[in-house]
Structure 1
């Protein structure tokens, strides 16, 4: 009996010692402070990259100090120190716009036909909605400002009585810009030289006068380059960077292409169906021009119209009598 009591006492003592050791181990662990680790925040890629259909300014203008990255989103993690007991992690995200493929979109290549919406005499016409969507690097002009008129004459057909035409311009001290096609450039070199001698300007109206929206980029460039080469061969000078689209048909992509070639594309704010005989002869030409007279007026007339030539002197005199001055396209050219 005494022996059994001794064994029980020894077991109780050992249990007490083990419990004490276990408690001391727990207290020792809690006595050592540990720095809590903040959870790493995963980047929200959807919020950092703007939707494809709604690009924001950051996508167009990346920060100046942003380092180039191969991927659109560059992600780095950098700890931000607060106090000694706590640290946090901040996700830095820098958006880099995707590399451009250089291929124009369907919308950029969509053909657009130039037009204007006539208003009362003295009021500037309305223009296509597409003009509000043009970018700064798409150099196009269709109207000027102030009490000025800009006369442009397309030379794509017969020259007709060009001596009478040029005499009317000289008598009224008016300088015009003649947009000449390759056919007339090649077959009438003396006329081109005469225009320059009398102080007029010759602009690029292409070699073949084809609808540019039906051509490839390489064909467009060839049309422009061939005109430049022919012009220089005749005049010994570089052609001024004034361009007019055949038929007034263009696209946003073509405007960019011509701008990249250094040209400003000139449309108009007054024109008429003058490539056909006019019912009332020269009176129709006169009334069409004077009836739409307005500030910054860019007038398009065709040389291959006997009615235009017959009415020219009368038109020029009336424009001046109504207080307008004649300017040149060089005043409107975009750099």
Structure 2
């Protein structure tokens, strides 16, 4: 009689661990009423091929345009767009706002619910000075793991309500996925809710509060990689960004760049 062959114990262990992780993720989402997405989860990524030119992304502009999404703006001249992500306030925003005002830049601040609830005066100042406040979700979850429209909508709607309470106005329909995690169903749901999903074409590692880049490290990443139509992602929690922004904007201006208003130019 032919003897049956069973998988090696290490293979079984891997299978069991994978099953446990899957079930844990499933029930976590089910408990909060969200259905896990069945779509492919993608981490936003860029590859810089040539100095002064837009990077190659892991989703093309043509693909993203189907869902009213962008990562790099069309630009006949040397126009770039400044955006900030913020989950909390740690004292750098005032310097950032002063630098933006000095250079006449209208930036976009993608804020989470915590920021809207704890810093209403700064949010109002952003709006009063002509900046756009976009939606970075209420609780900053991995949105690519949410597969039902109602749970997706709630993450955006709670911010809309907080914004209207502060400003008395409707929140601009710009959405940036936390950590750049997305899948096609997310893009579709955002579009159905009237949002434009905004990724980025220029960024650097500036978000570790206790491991900030030096000024020179920041310039080494942000100056040679700038390109026409760039959507620049910075974090307003970065001490380095608060310190260098005035000089950084000056350097870009010296290279012939001007600064566009993202929300206005997407209309």
Q: Give the TM-score, by structure 1 length.
A: 0.65
Contact map agreement 1:134 1:252 (CA 8 A) in 2? no
- For residues 137-286 of structure 1, the aligned pairs below 5 Å read 138-146=67-75, 147-217=78-148, 218-276=150-208, 277=210, 281-286=214-219
- The verdict on how the C-alpha distance between 1:260 and 1:113 changes in structure 2, with shifts beyond 3 A counting, is same
Q: Offset of 1:132 from its aligned partner?
A: 5.0
Pairwise CA distance, 1:133: 4.0
8 A Cα contact 2:206 2:213, kept in partner: no
Do the aligned residues in 2 keep the contact of 1:283 with 1:311 (CA within 8 Å)?
no
SS state at 1:141 partner: coil
**Partner Cα separation in structure 2 for residue 307 and residue 176 of structure 1:** 18
Alignment partner of 1:114 is 2:44:
yes
CA drift at 1:143: 0.3
Question: 2:220 & 2:113 partners in 1: Cα distance?
Answer: 31
TM-superposition CA deviations, 1:91-119 (whole Å, max 9, x none): xxxxxxxxxxxxx994xx21111111112
Q: Which has the higher contact order (CA 8 A, sep 6+)?
A: 2
1:321 CA displacement:
0.9
Unaligned runs of 5+ in 2: 1-35
The count of aligned residue pairs is 229
Separation in 1, partners of 2:95, 2:71: 28
The structure with more helix, counted as a fraction of residues? 2
TM-score normalised by length of structure 2: 0.80
Query: Structure 1: which 5+ runs fail to align?
Result: 1-103
Mapping for residues 287-302 of structure 1, pairs under 5 Å: 287-302=220-235
Confirm or deny: 8 A CA contact 2:107 2:261 kept in the other structure: yes
Q: Which has the larger radius of gyration?
A: 1
Partner of 1:70: none
Question: 2:7: which partner in 1?
Answer: none
* Structure 1 moving runs of 4+ over 3 Å: 129-135, 277-280
CA contact (8 A) 2:163 2:170 kept: yes
Indicate the RMSD between aligned Cα atoms, in angstroms.
2.1
